[in-house]
Amino acid sequence: MNNVSRIRLWAQFCLLALFLLPVTTVRAGAAEKKPAPPPVETDVLVLSNGDTLHGQLVMESGGKVTFHTDALGDVTVAWEKIKELHAAGSYGVLAKGVKLKGRRNAGQIPVGTVDVESQAVTVHPGNAAALAPIPAKDAELIIEQKTLDKQMNHEPGFFQGWNGAATAGATLVQATQNQYTVSGGIGLVRAVPSVSWLNPRNRTSTDFAGSFGKITQPAITIAGVTTPASTTKSAIYHIDGERDEYFSDRFFGLAQTAFDHNYSLELQLQQIYGGGMGWTIFKTPKQEGDLKATIQYEKQAFIDATPGENQNLVGSTFAANYLAHAKLFTYTQGVGYIPAYNLPSAYSANETDTVAFPTYKNFAFSVGTIDTYLNDAPVGTKRNSFQFTMGLTYAIKSKY
């Protein structure tokens, strides 16, 4: 390429750049001047004394309205103290007497913006006329649509929605004998949905409880008589898991498994695999009670077992669970009876009682008992083991 051709090509490039520069500048300027986002709509709460709050409606449940403001945080107000309420978001309103038995009747819940005036709640569905007002006292629940949809139509992830408690305790003694005992446990439950205003669909639970102790005594010589050194050990472990699937708000089918080791009863391992039915006999904000019955396979293996001591059993578990929340403590109880149909003498029973006293935030001081009875324990072994536990409990709370 000669010099003339190079000059001509360079001139063409410069002319093209001059032509495109204004277009590029206009486009860049247009990109920089993005439209401002629309102002965020705030909800308005007018109290009966004339005070007005601006913020967001969180929810209403049982006649109590929770309203959030930047200045005051969450404020809870009863209906009778509210003159007006205007919520611009999308909310579902559940009236008293409407029973939500599953996803099929989710359409019974009107969804839209909400206005409350003269103690009447009016829902304005999108692109539709306002629905007939209902008395505020009959509005059992007002909840955000996204929360309603999540609880009714979705399942939590494997690591979400678990609630329960973990407990740990220890004892140490140093004297003529050296003694130590450590104990602990963890119980977790995941109920779906995780709110009380919807009927349950399923529930998954798992529990672990264990204690290990040892007493050692060195050899002692008194008046020429030597007592040899000795060691005494105790070890008791229990773990179980259960899955409940609800047919209604009270009846459910269940599958369960449980494993037990009890050195004191010379029980190496007891395995249980079964399924059955359950019934929630009552459920209130302060109390809950369940009855359960299963058909199961059970295998018992004993330490240093002689021929015929290990057993393969077909039986059942009949159990009752009770939970009570009081102002100063929480009480839980579990009772179980496990018969064996192919070997009636190989039955067992257990009872667990725990009382937790809240101390600070998620921590509580707890005391409890664990009583286990094994009728077919090996000859020379006591059939009953009893534990008294004491420790620090931490409440596990997982939101969904």
pLDDT for residue 103 is more than 80: no
Q: For 368-392, what is the mean pLDDT?
A: 90
Place of tokens 């094994």: 374
What would the pLDDT profile of 192-227 be if each residue is shown by its tens digit?
Answer: 998 887 889 999 999 999 999 998 988 887 777 887
Instruction: Give all domains of the chain, ordered by start, each with its CATH number.
Output: 43-153 (no CATH), 163-397 (2.40.160.40)
Q: What is the pLDDT of residue 97?
A: 74
Q: What is the pLDDT of residue 104?
A: 60
Place of tokens 């140093």: 174
Residue of 25 and 276 predicted with greater confidence: 276
pLDDT for residue 9 is more than 70: no
Nearest to 312 by CA among 323, 321, 322, 301: 301
Q: What is the pLDDT of residue 400?
A: 79
Q: What is the pLDDT of residue 100?
A: 65
Measured between alpha carbons, how far is residue 6 from residues 11, 19, 217, 305, 388 in Å?
9, 20, 103, 101, 98
pLDDT for residue 390 is more than 70: yes
Q: What is the pLDDT of residue 231?
A: 87
∠ CA 29-33-39, nearest 5°, is: 175
Q: What is the pLDDT of residue 101?
A: 59
- The number of C-alpha atoms within 13 Å of 212 and in the hemisphere containing its C-beta is 3
Q: What is the pLDDT of residue 253?
A: 98
Q: What is the pLDDT of residue 226?
A: 81
pTM assigned to the model? 0.78
pLDDT for residue 50 is more than 60: yes
Q: What is the pLDDT of residue 24?
A: 41
Residue of 92 and 195 predicted with greater confidence: 92
Helix (H) or strand (E) holding 281: strand 267-283
CB 1 within 8 A of CB 10: no
Q: Is 195 left (phi over 0), alpha (psi -120 to 50) or beta?
A: beta
318: three-class secondary structure by DSSP:
strand
Between 159-163, 227-231, 263-267, the lowest mean confidence (pLDDT) is in: 227-231
Q: What is the average pLDDT value for the chain, to the nearest integer?
A: 86
Measured between alpha carbons, how far is residue 10 from residues 56, 161, 230 in Å?
63, 68, 101
Q: For 296-304, what is the mean pLDDT?
A: 94
Between 109-118, 223-232, 298-307, the lowest mean confidence (pLDDT) is in: 223-232
CA distance linking residue 272 with residue 81, whole number of Å: 56
DSSP 363-374: EEEEEEEEEEEE
Residue of 304 and 335 predicted with greater confidence: 335
